[in-house]
Amino acid sequence: GNAVRLQAIQDVEAYVPPAFDFSVSQTPSEFFGENVFSKVVMQKRLPKSVFKSVMATIEGGKKLDPAVADAVASAMKDWALEKGATHYAHVFYPLTGFTAEKHDSFFDPTGDGTALAEFAGKTLIQGEPDASSFPNGGLRNTFEARGYTGWDVTSPAYVLENPNGNTLCIPTVFVSMTGEALDHKTPLLRSQQAMGGHAERILKLFGHEKPGNIVSFCGPEQEYFLVDRHFFLARPDLLNAGRTLFGAKPPKGQEFDDHYFGAIPERVLGFMMDTEHELFKLGIPAKTRHNEVAPGQFEIAPMFERGNVAADHQQLLMTTFKTIAKKHGMECLFHEKPFEGVNGSGKHVNFSLGNADLGSLLVPGDTPHENAQFLVFCAAVIRAVHKYSGLLRASVASATNDHRLGANEAPPAIISIFLGDQLADIFDQIAKGAATSSKGKGTMMIGVDTLPILPTDPGDRNRTSPFAFTGNRFEFRAPGSMQTVNGPMVTINTIMADSLDYIATTLEAAVAEGTDFDEAVQNVLTQIITDHGAVVFNGDGYSDTWPIEAESRGLANLRTTLDALPELITQDAMDLFDKYNVFNNREMHSRYEIGLEQYILTIGVEARLTSEIGTTSVLPAAVRYQTELAQNVAALKAAGVDADTTALTEVTAPITTLRAALATLKGALAHEGGDDALGHAKHAQEELLPAMDAVRAAADELEGIVADDLWPLPTYQEMLYVL
């Protein structure tokens, strides 16, 4: 009750955060990657032939030779033991969106009372965790509880420090007995492979004889909130749902814009230093950090890495942030919308493709030849995003992200592409080239000879677009702060595989027929921009007119999760993922089912919490205040003084509303609605959410009326402005 809140305020004031000195004994270059079984470590510790073989897998995309596994395992174990590891863990990424680990001791009893450190190749390559408690969307019968983890050689193993003992962590895929994906990593690797293969076909057409293994790159920008833990613990809604289900807007909102890029509070800076130190040891290239728009909101952006490594690092980053925040007396909130009326948090996924030799294939370059190649990759993105916008939308669909998308702080739910003036203009010209092709080659043909020199930095930025070209990459801004980057990356890779495949096939056929290559490129570019140019939008995505214009362009506006999830099981979507061996139809159905399940669970928890907090915390506080006022009125009357009953009336009205709203919510909670997952989800959306809103509206009104010393929940003002 109120005692908890008032105590929290006192505790916050008395709290002294731990000091952190980044420069203690070493410079970052000395400890960067010190806990990673990196290329350098492998080169030092592995026999030459083994090292070469492993590198062929990591960099060349070759299948891992099982014969080298024992040698790698043994070197890895020795290295880990030197780093103080006592256990090893296969780390995997189940469909809960969290990270899971199964720990095993290195030490096997020998039978004579001693133990020997053992770690065989087969233990490195494969594990068998019980899978029965992870969501599988109908993929696995409960009697086949077994799941298999398999080493992802391309994502480095690392030692995770813990005061109670260190652990060697091995990033793995997680699949069912039948080889179907139960995780987020498997499809990412599959989709990367599909996209890479078709990108290589295009590169060959452009004269790269051996383009090397092409991968996707991902640079995730992570937004988050920090709140003092004393307040966090006094808010059962934050604690259990990750967001506040109650709370009136503070008198001082973010309208002053004084937080964005402002000086970072000292306590927060200490936390950031500490996290970056940990991230560096794990080889995670944390780079940019700054305040975000809302008070208490911040951002970290590590340097981009190949997709699967970035995804693993991103998960590790989130865990590290949570742990270190606690150490500094704070809670790190990754929820997309912890505070209503305050800016939410996203996770921008910066995407490009390429490899170490060629760099990003989305760099315009400054020679016409490279420009043509760049335009082809760019056109592939345009086609992919237009054709499969529904899948992109579905890849970021969640109950929590619904609070953010389209709320004038994040891109709208309409998926469009921002190209910037320069590039948009070039594609305009390309489109016209086709329209007036009768005019003949010379003037209208935008073949490789006449292409303009493109600047690497287009100069302009558009923060309202969900999918924006930013000079050498595309930035997908719709993903939520709590999501893994895997879902969006899987989708982008797969739809890119489809577009690159289409372009490569078209060009190969044209060349085989004897068409001039430049002309064939011109034709395919013109075709794509004509068919898919509707997705290019350089205007203000927050404006009221955009949804209307988008509709006239035939672009979908899938506002909520339940509008978006069915995109996963359309015939087109299932055929696409099946064709590129990313998901079979059963796997697609399982993702859809899990999406619904998570939605139902999330809203169910929130609704029950709203009911509980409203009934046991807010209503009693309001009633106490009402009683106090009533007693005051009675006492005044008894004393023969004129009693003003305005305040009593003022508090009584919202109490009545709150009681009614709680009754409605309890009624809605008493049944599930519908008889399948979609039915239950619709019930959550159509009945629980509005019922929760009604409870909150009455409670928030009471917050402005009830005496402060009686109010039970830490207020927005307290939580947001304390750091």
Distance of closest approach, residue 418 Cβ to ligand ADP, in angstroms: 13
Exactly one of 222, 254, 352, 560 binds ligand ADP (CB under 6 A); that residue is 352
Q: Residue for token digits 């560096």?
A: 280
Q: Quote the tokens at residue 132.
A: 């029965």
Give me the residue whose beta carbon is nearest to Mg ion: 348
Exactly one of 148, 280, 304, 502 binds ligand ADP (CB under 6 A); that residue is 304
What does 219 bind: Mg ion, ligand ADP, none (CB cut-off 5 to 8 Å by kind)?
A: ligand ADP
- Number of neighbouring beta carbons within 10 Å of residue 701: 19
Report if residue 347 touches Mg ion, rule: CB under 5 A. no
Of 301 and 417, which has the nearer Cβ to ligand ADP? 301
Gap between the Cα atoms of 414 and 547, Å rounded: 8
Among 461, 344, 333, 331, CA closest to 402: 344
Distance of closest approach, residue 188 Cβ to Mg ion, in angstroms: 21
Q: Residue for token digits 């809670």?
A: 331
Among 720, 717, 695, CA closest to 618: 695
Among 185, 161, 155, 174, CA closest to 37: 155
Distance of closest approach, residue 608 Cβ to ligand ADP, in angstroms: 38
Exactly one of 350, 486, 494, 598 binds ligand ADP (CB under 6 A); that residue is 350
Site string for Mg ion, 212-251 (x = CB under 5 A): ---------x------------------------------
Among 434, 438, 496, CA closest to 214: 496
Report if residue 348 touches Mg ion, rule: CB under 5 A. yes
Of 231 and 298, which has the nearer Cβ to Mg ion? 298
Among 597, 723, 688, CA closest to 97: 597
Written as one letter, the residue type at 394 is A
Gap between the Cα atoms of 530 and 526, Å rounded: 6
Report if residue 473 touches Mg ion, rule: CB under 5 A. no
> Residue 174 is inside which H or E element, if any?
strand 166-176
According to DSSP, residue 566 is labeled G
Site string for Mg ion, 529-568 (x = CB under 5 A): ----------------------------------------
Residues 529-558 that bind ligand ADP (CB under 6 A): none
What does 152 bind: ligand ADP, Mg ion, none (CB cut-off 5 to 8 Å by kind)?
A: none
Q: Quote the tokens at residue 124.
A: 């490195």
Distance of closest approach, residue 304 Cβ to ligand ADP, in angstroms: 3
Distance of closest approach, residue 485 Cβ to ligand ADP, in angstroms: 11
Distance of closest approach, residue 221 Cβ to Mg ion, in angstroms: 5
Of 147 and 479, which has the nearer Cβ to ligand ADP? 479
Q: Quote the tokens at residue 80.
A: 């880990």
Gap between the Cα atoms of 33 and 53, Å rounded: 22
What does 274 bind: Mg ion, ligand ADP, none (CB cut-off 5 to 8 Å by kind)?
A: none
Number of residues that bind ligand ADP (CB under 6 A): 15
Q: Using only the alpha carbons of the chain, give its radius of gyration.
A: 28
Report if residue 473 touches ligand ADP, rule: CB under 6 A. yes
Residues 84-103 that bind ligand ADP (CB under 6 A): none
Distance of closest approach, residue 686 Cβ to Mg ion, in angstroms: 35
What does 427 bind: Mg ion, ligand ADP, none (CB cut-off 5 to 8 Å by kind)?
A: none
Tell me the helices (H) and strands (E) count for the chain, helix number first: 26, 18
What does 196 bind: ligand ADP, Mg ion, none (CB cut-off 5 to 8 Å by kind)?
A: none
What does 301 bind: Mg ion, ligand ADP, none (CB cut-off 5 to 8 Å by kind)?
A: ligand ADP
Site string for ligand ADP, 245-284 (x = CB under 6 A): ----------------------------------------
Phi, then psi, of 176 in degrees rounded to 5: -80, 175
Distance of closest approach, residue 371 Cβ to ligand ADP, in angstroms: 17
Number of residues that bind Mg ion (CB under 5 A): 2
Gap between the Cα atoms of 405 and 542, Å rounded: 11
Among 523, 520, 502, CA closest to 512: 520
Site string for ligand ADP, 214-233 (x = CB under 6 A): ---x-x-x------------
Report if residue 79 touches ligand ADP, rule: CB under 6 A. no
Among 109-117, 275-283, 349-357, 572-580, the segment contacting ligand ADP (CB under 6 A): 349-357
Written as one letter, the residue type at 713 is L
Distance of closest approach, residue 216 Cβ to ligand ADP, in angstroms: 9
Among 585, 430, 630, 422, CA closest to 522: 430
Of 242 and 411, which has the nearer Cβ to ligand ADP? 411
- Number of neighbouring beta carbons within 10 Å of residue 63: 8
Q: What angle do CA 324, 296, 608 make, to 5 degrees?
A: 85
Stated length of the chain:
723
Report if residue 308 touches ligand ADP, rule: CB under 6 A. no
Gap between the Cα atoms of 189 and 177, Å rounded: 18
Pairing state of beta strands 467-469 and 417-418?
parallel
164 contact partners, CB below 8 Å, separation of at least 6: none
Q: Quote the tokens at residue 119.
A: 């770690």
Distance of closest approach, residue 469 Cβ to ligand ADP, in angstroms: 11
Gap between the Cα atoms of 550 and 558, Å rounded: 12
Contact residues for Mg ion, defined by CB under 5 A: 221, 348
Contact residues for ligand ADP, defined by CB under 6 A: 217, 219, 221, 288, 301-304, 350-352, 360, 472-473, 475
